[in-house]
Amino acid sequence: MAKTALITGASSGIGYELAKIFARQKYNLVLVARSENKLNEIAAELKKAHGVDVVVLPKDVSLLASSQEIYDTVKQKGIDVEILVNNAGFGDFGFFTETKWEKELEMINLNMTALTALTKLFVRDMVRRKSGKIMNVASTASFQPGPLMAVYYATKAYVLSFSEAISNELQGTGVTVTALCPGPTESGFQNAAAMNDSKLVKGKKLPKSKDVAEYAYKALMNGKVVAVHGLMNKIMAQSVRYSPRAVVRSLVRAMSERTH
């Protein structure tokens, strides 16, 4: 019997690429994102290509009621979610004194609250079945503070810390938790974060979402707890641990400044 993977933020980027991989591996899918039209297009594409069942849930996951609604809908349909991918998230760029609180609150709700709520709702069923995998999409931003993207970096630090902690708690239950930590990736993220002219991304050849998703799938299946994509990202993540924090703050600030 085919197993089911639920993916948030499934309409583009890493989420969409993961949906394609799971479908190729004959997983049925529950795809969550705001754009119903886009999700329906993807569902039709994956059903035709791989013959899998795809349930489309057009939801704004940043709304606090959405997590429970997603869980309830899945249960009503009699679907057991074997794999949960908390991929939905976004960032914002600029000085904290100048950025909009409304956008940051939405970011906190999506990047942290919804991710935690969905994990809480689905992990108990997984533990009861003694089988399941959760992937929470963190970031290389998880490893240090991020001047000019202060709230975003902080939300991703939460995702990493939370994922590592519950991974430890779940040892021996048959359930694994993976924190995926990609660096800047070729996706719609930069546009949404208004950071296309940041030194982090401008003029750089970024990894493709497809490559990050392939790496993520393997890490998830192997039960890897912290999965940092790319050699340079791995080196940077490790080096932060041995560098004075003042130096790290200054370095991230210099790397993030807008190009002029």
**Could you please report the per-residue DSSP string of 42-110?**
HHHHHHHHH---EEEEE--TTSTTHHHHHHHHHHHTT--EEEEEE-------S-TTTS-HHHHHHHHII
Return the pLDDT at 234. 84
Return the bridge partners of 239, or none. none
Return the pLDDT at 24. 98
**By residue range, what is the domain housing residue 13?**
4-256
Alpha carbons 131 and 6: distance in angstroms, whole number: 15
The catalytically annotated residue of 152, 153, 158, 217 is 152
The per-residue DSSP string of 28-46 comes to EEEEEES-HHHHHHHHHHH
CATH of the domain at 164: 3.40.50.720
Strands of 132-137's sheet in order across: 54-58, 28-33, 4-8, 81-86, 132-137, 175-181, 226-228
- DSSP letter, residue 253: H
Q: What is the pTM of this model?
A: 0.90
Return the pLDDT at 227. 96
Return the pLDDT at 156. 98
Q: Which two tokens stand for residue 154?
A: 């902080």
Number of structural domains (the chain) is: 1
The per-residue DSSP string of 162-177 comes to HHHHHHHHTTTTTEEE
Q: Which two tokens stand for residue 194?
A: 């208004």
- For 114, residues 6+ apart whose C-beta sits below 8 A from its C-beta are 8, 61, 62, 64, 66, 67, 86, 88
Alpha carbons 85 and 134: distance in angstroms, whole number: 6
The catalytically annotated residue of 59, 133, 156, 224 is 156
Return the pLDDT at 48. 97
Return the pLDDT at 196. 54
Is 153 catalytic? The answer is no
Is 27 catalytic? The answer is no
pLDDT tens, residue order, the chain (260 aa): 789 999 999 999 999 999 999 999 999 999 999 999 999 999 999 999 999 999 999 999 999 999 999 999 999 999 999 999 999 999 999 999 999 999 999 999 999 999 999 999 999 999 999 999 999 999 999 999 999 999 999 999 999 999 999 999 999 999 999 999 999 887 665 555 455 565 565 556 788 999 999 999 999 999 999 999 988 888 887 887 878 888 888 888 888 876 65
Q: How far is CA 54 from the centre of its chain?
A: 20
Contact yes or no for 179/164 (Cβ under 8 A): yes
Return the bridge partners of 234, or none. none
